[in-house]
Amino acid sequence: MSTVPFVRNEIGEIPSDVTSEGCWHKRFLFSKCCFAIGDYERAIEVLELRRGVLPKSDYDAIRLAAESYIAAYAEARSELERHIAEHGC
Ligand SMILES: [Zn+2]
């Protein structure tokens, strides 16, 4: 089966109530989440498209990169949630 470590469904949703009306810090954290998820999705796309074609070392390197992007996402997301809780914005 798939060796891709995560699927989209396991990521969960980025809080959808973040709009351009939010405070700058909230918007900053939100865009950090979006960038991380974008990097992650591009890496996963490469893995899925090139599976069986990429040399194993390349595949593993991209998979590791994907894991670091999803970790960055998780961190940004918890920062965002903490900010919203503390700041009430
Ligand atoms: Zn705020």
pLDDT tens digit string along 55-68? 999 999 999 999 99
Give CA–CA dist 36/77, Å, rounded.
10
24 CA to centre of ligand 1 in angstroms: 7
Note the pLDDT tens digit of each residue in 71-84: 999 999 999 999 98
9 CA to centre of ligand 1 in angstroms: 27
84 CA to centre of ligand 1 in angstroms: 6
36 CA to centre of ligand 1 in angstroms: 20
Give CA–CA dist 68/62, Å, rounded.
10
Residues whose CB is less than 8 angstroms from the CB of residue 69 and which lie 6 or more positions away in sequence, other chains included: 36, 37, 39, 40, 43
Residue 49 scores a pLDDT above 70: yes
CB 59 within 8 A of CB 51: yes
48 CA to centre of ligand 1 in angstroms: 37
Residue 86 scores a pLDDT above 90: yes
- Is 85 or 22 the better-scoring residue by pLDDT? 85
Q: What is the pTM of this model?
A: 0.73
